Chains A and B, each alone.
Chain A
Amino acid sequence: MQKKIVLSLALCFSLVSLMIGGCTYMQNKTAAAKTFPLKPITIIVPFSAGGGTDLIARALEKVAPKYLAQPLVVINKPGGTGTIGWNELASSNPDGYTLGITALDLIVQPLYGPTKYHYPTALEPLVQISNSTFIMVVDAKEPWQDVAAVINYSKEHPRELTFGHSGIGSTGHIVGEAFASTANISLRQVPFRGASEAATALLGKHIQIAFMAPASVKEHIKNGTLRALAVSSKQRLTDPALSHIPTFTEQGLDIALNNPNGVAAPKGLPPEVKAELGAAFKSIISDPEFKNMIEQLGGQIEYLDSKQSEAQWLDDSKKLTKIIEDTGILERIKEQKN
């Protein structure tokens, strides 16, 4: 009986080793040894797999081997509108082996109240990769053809229209409230647990308006199931499928909010490492394959280096503080915490 056990265990062992061997064979990548990256670099994506930030990270992961000696490994740490992932980033070793993807929420979250780390000061940006906007969409079956029509309808029927977003305090929420307050109308906001949930509800006509990232709605706009009324960036998008959408500013509303995504590291990175990473990322971002991938997702490459990113962060921080106060979002969040 003992023999049988040993035999079956050995069998398992060999089966498993075969599988492991097979897989390591698949994974074999020879890399020339350099001084800085000596082992794989982790990139933390503070949102769940499949989201816009995650896809940017995956695009980086794919193109990186051309420019970096070690692979980039993407890890998702979703939760808390990014705070869980950024907390982890801020508390990790500033040796250049742990990086993270940034989004506007990085600046927004600390404005709502004490977060574990004050991200704009605890993290330093290495590069900015892209600038994404928000598209205001409504179901194609609705009669409104432009923003003005929506505003008029809402003035006639106050508090009737609802808009969905991916969570109180999220960037989608901010854009929505900014819209409502600039246009002087009252909209009811419905929180969802993510952009795709909001999109589902919009398509099912449970909510009337939503402010979404291009990737989530591009196909539907092309197909005609959703109608895009405005984009929140300073200029129109360059993607041919989306360039017909006017901006808010063109339609008379002073809203210009973007969602910049970049790469950051915990503060205190040694300068050579920082320089090396900066250069590597710069090449990755200019790589045509990378550009293609990002543009397919409806994003726009907008490269900023470390110093410029930092300046942009401060700028955004000031702008957003004002917006959330004006629109009452800050109030609302404080209310939740009682």
Chain B
Amino acid sequence: METISLLLHGFSISILPTNLLACAIGVLIGTLVGVLPGIDTISAIALLLPFSYSMDSTAALIMFAGIYYGSKYGGSTTAILMNVPGEASAVITCLDGYPMTQKGRGGAALTVAAVGSFIAGTIGVVGLTLFAPPLAQLALAFGPPEYFSIALVGLILLTKLTGTSMLKSSLMATLGVMLGTIGLDSLSGISRFSFGIDELDRGFNLSILAMGLFGIAEIFTVMTQSTPQPKVPSLHFKDLYPTKEEFQRSSLPILRGGFIGFLIGLLPGSSATIAGFTSYALEKRCSKKPAEFGYGAIEGVAGPEAANNSVVSATMIPLLTLGLPFCGGTAILLSGFMIHGILPGPTLITQHPDLFWGLITSMYIGNLMLLVINLPLIGVFVQLLKTPLNILMPLVVLLTITGAYSINNSIMDLMWITFFGIIGFFMRRTGFNPLPLLIGLVIGPELERGLIQGLIISNGSIYSLITRPLSSAILFLGAAILLYNTVPWFDKFTKDKKKVHP
């Protein structure tokens, strides 16, 4: 009950006009940042840090937080409409969101994404309110060996997500991990595979790869079709919103996604993207029509979008209770705190209760604002879809390229995006699915980090690495699921061979 009174106190603070305004500005900017491919949350917040100096600290932080979770709402827009992820974590939404648009159900996808994000975001904030300190301790219990196990299990399981061929997906995942090792490695202090080229030292950015493999590849596919595109059926008002059936089908995924996202957000790393992948895998497994995934299954949009929103709240937990930033977004938020002279940590709740509770309640309000803002915008966006493809596509090209440039201001990145676009184009047509590549890219560094650190900590013994309680639990679970699925695959593999060598 104490929590309720604290929450009420918090609301009284976040309702103050300055804070409300800050929240509104924050979520607006966040949505814009999310919609535009390339501009990422970290740069946006970093850009606005100087402007916040003159603002009151609470208002400033509310605004930054608004940008942070707002961008998760916006990222799905371009992903669904144009197959270009506006934000790295939205890449999984492309998989089923874009096919839905192609079928004329784009508006429905956007609505489900917005509503799902709202529900999950709120679930996340509730979790944050109620369970912050114990969850923080839980998060700490995960050490390098656990990260390794999670990464390994995650990599293997997520690779089974899509694609017709297990072999090809595994290859893609492995190549993704390899791509992830390119660049300056801070663990060892040297740069690998960079051939002395400065640009390569930075390593491959997920956004660049995603934009190339998905966005540009899609543009190639659309623009080079020799048969004229059938016109997208004219959309009626009711097409903007999901049907009752679609709503029903998305409700469980949203809840599951919210829950999963929250748990994954407690782990360090690119948790938003990983949460999206995991939710997708989970939904595919739980769905009654798994074959529909990849062709416009609404669960494939609802789950991941929900997940990457509740991740935000979860990542705030280590930040607010321990002062530890687990991902890029919270790191810049930490900067924001420190610039205003506040060091988050165990004493934050007691020393700055106004700030703490005000911030949390502003997240509730912010989520609501985002829902209200995004829903009408869906109509606007869908109108844009009516533009004929041959006008729309070049604009999308421009958007993607400019966005890509804005990440690192590097022309080389643009070359990469084109290169990967070409490869992606061919890959799609030959059954190599680009998604495991991205999964490998994201999970690879985590895998390596966990492996190396874990081995040093356990003094080289793989045995003790595996037998730590948490670690072994994860590996066991993973092995069980894997075995459950490998047996039929193995059958198929041998059967196929038999077919060909009669």
Contact = CB atoms under 8 A, between A and B. Distances in A.
CB atoms of A and B under 8 A apart anywhere in the complex?
yes
Interface of A: 1, 4-5, 8, 11-12, 19, 26-27, 48-50, 54-55, 58-59, 61-62, 71, 73-74, 76, 79-81, 83-84, 87, 112, 116, 159, 162, 166-170, 188-194, 196-197, 199-201, 203-207, 215-216, 218-220, 222-223, 225, 292-293, 296-297, 333, 336-337
Contacts of A84: 184, 198, 201-202
Given A79-B201, A84-B201, A191-B453, A4 B189 contact: no
Interface stretch (B65-73, B155-163, B329-337): B329-337
21 contacts: A4-B383, A8-B387, A49-B335, A55-B335, A58-B50, A62-B50, A76-B46, A79-B201, A159-B459, A162-B457, A168-B187, A190-B453, A191-B186, A201-B143, A204-B142, A218-B345, A219-B348, A220-B345, A292-B341, A336-B189, A336-B190
Contacts of B5: none
Interface stretch (B92-100, B317-325, B412-420): B317-325
Nearest to B144: A206
Interface string B340-365: 01011111100000000000000000
Contacts of A12: 384
Contact of B346 (A59, A81, A223): A223
A293 B341 contact: yes
Contacts of B399: none
Given A116-B198, A166-B186, A203-B140, A223 B345 contact: yes
B329 to A, nearest CB: 10
Contacts of B348: 219
Given A8-B384, A8-B387, A190-B457, 19 more contacts: A49-B332, A50-B335, A61-B49, A80-B184, A81-B189, A84-B198, A87-B198, A170-B186, A191-B452, A196-B324, A196-B326, A196-B331, A200-B140, A203-B322, A206-B143, A218-B345, A219-B323, A292-B341, A333-B190
A168 B188 contact: yes
A1 B231 CA distance: 13
B345 A61 contact: no
A197 B201 contact: no
Contacts of B386: 1, 4-5
Interface residues of B, number: 58
List 3 A-B pairs, minimum CB-CB distance, nearest first.
A219-B345, A206-B143, A204-B140
A297 B144 contact: no
B59 to A, nearest CB: 14
B274 to A, nearest CB: 16
Contacts of A203: 140, 322, 324
A263 B402 CA distance: 32
Contacts of B203: 79
B344 A8 contact: no
Nearest to B343: A219
Contact of B51 (A27, A87, A337): A27
B457 A225 contact: no
Nearest to A16: B32
Given A192-B453, A193-B449, A199-B324, A168 B189 contact: yes
A5 B188 contact: no
B477 interface: no
B293 to A, nearest CB: 32
B140 A54 contact: no
Contacts of B141: 204
B387 A5 contact: yes
A169 B32 CA distance: 40
A250 to B, nearest CB: 26
Contacts of B331: 48-50, 196
A225 B387 CA distance: 59
A54 B336 CA distance: 11
Contact of A71 (B50, B324, B453, B459): B50
Contact of A223 (B140, B347, B383, B384): B347
Interface in B140-194: 140-144, 183-184, 186-191
Contacts of A74: 46, 49-50
Nearest to B338: A55
Nearest to A62: B53
